Chains A and B, each alone.
Chain A
Amino acid sequence: MPLFGKKDRKKATRLYFATDLHGSERTYRKFINAGKFYDVDILVMGGDITGKLLIPIIKEKNDHYRATLQGRVEEITTQKELEDLIARLGTLGFYHKVMDEAEFQALSADENAVNELFHEVSRQRLSSWVDLAEERLAGTGKKCYVTGGNDDAPEVLTAIKREGTHSFFACEGEVVQVDDDHTMISVGFSTPTPWKTPREITDEKLGEMIEEMVAKVPNLSHTIFNFHDPPVDSSLDTCPMLDWDKDPPEPIIQGGQTVMYGAGSKSVRNAIEKYKPMLGLHGHIHESQSVAKIGRTTCVNPGSEYGEGILRGCLVTFVDGQVEGYQMTSG
């Protein structure tokens, strides 16, 4: 070390985090390109990566097609229109399947078949996403870590757990070494929601799951908590309170206004307060884009606008167990 002059400074690590992409093809492609665009070392995708809607493109007898999009039936008469529609569906995060009328009617009458179809198209898309990441990140040295969320069925998440990858890694339940000094642990489950999604557990159970992960971490001050569920009452989790007895759930109105509350997890908050990690990466509540400091921990929820093809995210720079800076992005 020189006697006079600056102390050699470690190079900071740059991380880009986005979450709740819900199957949006365009948003995912932007996410992968974000590595080069923002010049980051690590890409982290939070949970809820599978889509919610499957649009049947129904072939009619006159070789035209029809599809319902945003409440309107669109009549497709040319191949170009069909390709454009499929591209739009990808942007919106919707799956599609071309089928004839008989197949559509049969599916409509069979809930299990629809579920199986959802799983099939979700796996196909996730599998193609792994391929895309491997192809585009090859040779760049950038790593992409992906976890599931409460919306992602376990049988679908198998598609991202692939052996022998060089750039794309399913990180849930693992302690990941993101650089020489820092680790990351990931939990994609959430506390119960009124939608009764595939991966919900009680807050207590979530706490136990976090404790199991924490026990594997050597230095908690240099770690990242990548937990899909945000800490309760942190401003990362503000959303309308919903009536769980309605299907779909509806906001609760009191005195003529919607009741807002913090829908996050107590266990996540307790863990952050107790273990004081360097950084908390959260999602789940799309409308609650925010940054909060809980003790020394910088917690972020970049929110989500996948439906508009917009990639919301957060760039974080850190070194020696300290967050040097963060920046919300809207790409």
Chain B
Amino acid sequence: MAEMATPKPEVFTRKASGLVRVMSPYSAFVYNILTMGLIFPWTYLWAPGSLPGGQLVWGIILAMVIEIPIAFVYVWLSTALPRSGGDYVFQSRVFGGGVAFTVVMSGFVIWILQWVALSGWLVSYLGFAPLFLGLGATMHVASLSTLGLWFTSATGIIVVSILNALIALILLTSGFKNYVRFQHVIFWGTLLCFATVFVVLFATPASEFVARLNAFSVASGGVANFYQTAMDAVTKAGINVHPPFSLLATLLVAPIAWTSLQWATYSAEQNGEIKDARSFRSQTFIMVGSLIATGLLLALLALGIQKVAGSEFLYVAGAGYWSGISAANINGFNLWPPILAVALTASPIVVLIIGLGYLLNGFQIVCNCYIGMTRVLVAMSLDRLLPDWFSKVNEKYHTPVNAHLGYFLASIPVIVGYSLVTQPFTWVSLTLGVTFGCGYVFIITCLAGALLPYRAKEVYEASPGAKYTVSGIVGVLFTLLGAASFIALTWVLSPQAFASSVVLDWLVRLASIVAVIVFLYPMRKHLLEWLNGKPMPWLSALGMLGGGLGMAMVVAFLLSPALGVLGNWNFADFPKNLLAQIIAIAIIVISAVWYIAAKARQKSKGINVEYAFKEIPPE
């Protein structure tokens, strides 16, 4: 069946009421960019600190390329099921309620509490602190610098974080319109901040970098010859600031950059409100467009930092963060990109713009957490898997006040733990666990996409994407590439993670192969057909590729110590040194147990919760 563009639709319509979608594709595009966090800093210090020899720019580009097939799967799924709820809806359609609830509750609802805490940290540490520190330095007012440092203290961060979450709670429950109004301020403030950081990094001559950094250090109460002092301390600690290129390290930069870029598809949670949500062009612009725009800008930012500061300084700054070398920090302050930009300018206005930009984008994160997760909580409550209390909508404000309140209360212990828990592991180091948690949500959705044409045939065939197929041979190659990436990275990283146990090492390696076989075995009939040249749905081909590449990223968090605490498999003094892994597994187990318990409880009242997801046969 061929198709062509038409100048005038040849359809007859009649006046009828119905659903009105309010969010324009452009707004959804902006929403995704804000969610990805244009000005988030992880990659720039974490990667040089933990992955010597890794190429920052190429790692970011790689993360963007890996995310492209995943984003396309979401485009297909969104046009097939343009409903709010995103991942929960997609997964429940294909894998059923048990999988969807367990995955989304654990990977999103619980893990994202950490991001509520992180948002407060961003607002305090990267918003208020550099703002006052910079103003103190540029205006030579010591009390402002002192205040700036308070925002880096545990007390400062906890107070700011709780207030940050509380303000978001009040703003969002007072009516969504108030938030949307403020979102414009956030967007333009963030863009202005990012542009300013860009201009400062690219316009500052590299020859002046050392002098300006030293001057900032003095003005902030640090040492006079900061650059050389930091360089000496890092070198003395045995850190090579000129490491040779490492392919593995470059590959592992990608999962860190994925922390931002994996959110390119977050607008899927609000598909029911997006105009033209069934349109391929719109969804591609919203998801793939925002991904490429953000990926390129993040890579440019890395380029800008390298240009002005030099690669060796990135290793110095990274050591201050990752190895905790205090001499590589200014007054105890890690040298994140906004701090560098503030340090390089002598203008209080520039400091103000950058500080406010980070404040706004930090606040946007907590709002995103609430908006996304309260929708999920309401949906789960309506499915009778959470108490009715969560789905009560305030009649005056039309918002799920209880769900917001519940999420706020749940976030408080996480906020406190984020700043105070340092033993037996630092709670902060669980931050990339969110990328792991949310990562497996995205990947399971991706795999759901691969299976949608077979598990929810009617839904798929009624979708505009059903007509797009690819040669079965190409599709199988995509499948093999995805599977090979996952298995290969597991085989490379497993010996590092389980150096003390050959048995565990081989068990994990073999488990990766078994996992691929278990997933593909039900598709064996189709695989043979595709090998014989039968066309494969593009959605399945991209789902297999994106799912495999994404699984490689997720497994990297589990097996690479360089990507945070989940990759440190130290069995000594059990369970003390494996608490992070136990927490990660416990979150999944608790979610699964909750589902089973809720299902049993509802069954005793004559309610079968599976009915919420099961498709009724039309014939």
Interface residues of chain B: helix, strand, loop or mixed (majority)? loop
Closest 10 CB pairs of A and B: A257-B180, A235-B393, A29-B618, A331-B616, A286-B19, A258-B22, A30-B616, A54-B12, A52-B16, A73-B6
Residues of chain A within 8 A (CB-CB) of B383 are 327-328
B616-A72 in contact (CB<8A): no
Is A19 interfacial (CB-CB < 8 Å)?
Answer: no
B616-A34 in contact (CB<8A): yes
B20-A75 in contact (CB<8A): no
Is B612 interfacial (CB-CB < 8 Å)?
Answer: yes
B9-A71 in contact (CB<8A): yes
Q: A256 vs B282: C-alpha distance in the bound complex, in angstroms?
A: 20
Q: A150 vs B383: C-alpha distance in the bound complex, in angstroms?
A: 29
With beta carbons under 8 angstroms apart, the residue of A68, A74, A197, A329 that contacts B15 is A197
Given contacts A55-B11, A68-B6, A235-B395, contact A22 B16 (CB under 8 A): yes
- Which of B142-150, B458-466, B574-582 makes up part of the contact surface? B458-466
With beta carbons under 8 angstroms apart, the residue of A38, A114, A324 that contacts B611 is A38
B612-A324 in contact (CB<8A): no
Is B527 interfacial (CB-CB < 8 Å)?
Answer: no
Is B573 interfacial (CB-CB < 8 Å)?
Answer: no
Is B421 interfacial (CB-CB < 8 Å)?
Answer: no
Is B203 interfacial (CB-CB < 8 Å)?
Answer: no
With beta carbons under 8 angstroms apart, the residue of B176, B272, B391, B461 that contacts A287 is B272
A325-B606 in contact (CB<8A): yes
Is B396 interfacial (CB-CB < 8 Å)?
Answer: yes
Is A141 interfacial (CB-CB < 8 Å)?
Answer: no
B interface footprint on A37-76 (CB within 8 Å = 1, 0 otherwise) = 1100000000010001111101000000011101111111
Q: A251 vs B9: C-alpha distance in the bound complex, in angstroms?
A: 23
Given contacts A33-B617, A327-B384, contact A255 B17 (CB under 8 A): no
Q: Known A-B contacts: A33-B619, A308-B462, A327-B609. Give 14 more (CB < 8 A).
A: A37-B614, A37-B616, A52-B14, A56-B11, A72-B464, A75-B1, A88-B461, A88-B462, A115-B14, A256-B180, A287-B20, A291-B391, A308-B82, A328-B384
B616-A308 in contact (CB<8A): no
Is B279 interfacial (CB-CB < 8 Å)?
Answer: yes
The smallest C-beta distance from B363 to any residue of chain A, in angstroms, reads 17
Residues of chain B within 8 A (CB-CB) of A34 are 616
With beta carbons under 8 angstroms apart, the residue of A71, A197, A305 that contacts B16 is A197
Given contacts A310-B459, A317-B606, A328-B383, contact A107 B10 (CB under 8 A): no
B611-A235 in contact (CB<8A): no
Q: Which residue of B lies closest to A104 (CB)?
A: B10
Q: A158 vs B605: C-alpha distance in the bound complex, in angstroms?
A: 40
Q: Which residue of A lies closest to B391 (CB)?
A: A291
A residues at B contact (CB < 8 Å) = 12, 14, 20, 22, 26, 29-30, 33-34, 37-38, 48, 52-56, 58, 66-68, 70-77, 81, 85, 88, 91-92, 104, 107, 114-115, 117-118, 150-151, 190, 193, 195-197, 233-235, 238-240, 242, 249, 251, 254-262, 284, 286-287, 289-292, 304-305, 307-311, 315, 317, 324-325, 327-331
Residues of chain A within 8 A (CB-CB) of B109 are none
Residues of chain A within 8 A (CB-CB) of B525 are none
Residue pairs across A and B with Cβ atoms less than 8 A apart, 13 shown, are: A12-B606, A33-B617, A72-B6, A74-B1, A238-B398, A287-B19, A290-B382, A304-B19, A305-B83, A308-B80, A308-B82, A325-B606, A331-B614
B1-A331 in contact (CB<8A): no
Q: A115 vs B14: C-alpha distance in the bound complex, in angstroms?
A: 8
Is B423 interfacial (CB-CB < 8 Å)?
Answer: no
The smallest C-beta distance from A28 to any residue of chain B, in angstroms, reads 8
A233-B396 in contact (CB<8A): yes
Is B18 interfacial (CB-CB < 8 Å)?
Answer: yes
A interface footprint on B262-295 (CB within 8 Å = 1, 0 otherwise) = 0000000000110000110000000000000000
Q: Which residue of A lies closest to B85 (CB)?
A: A330
The smallest C-beta distance from A142 to any residue of chain B, in angstroms, reads 14
Q: A91 vs B457: C-alpha distance in the bound complex, in angstroms?
A: 12
A151-B16 in contact (CB<8A): yes
With beta carbons under 8 angstroms apart, the residue of B9, B23, B273, B606 that contacts A324 is B606
B2-A309 in contact (CB<8A): no
Residues 76-114 (chain B) with a chain A CB within 8 angstroms: 80-83, 92
Residues of chain A within 8 A (CB-CB) of B515 are none
Residues of chain B within 8 A (CB-CB) of A77 are 1-2
Q: A33 vs B615: C-alpha distance in the bound complex, in angstroms?
A: 11
Given contacts A251-B22, A260-B398, contact A327 B611 (CB under 8 A): yes
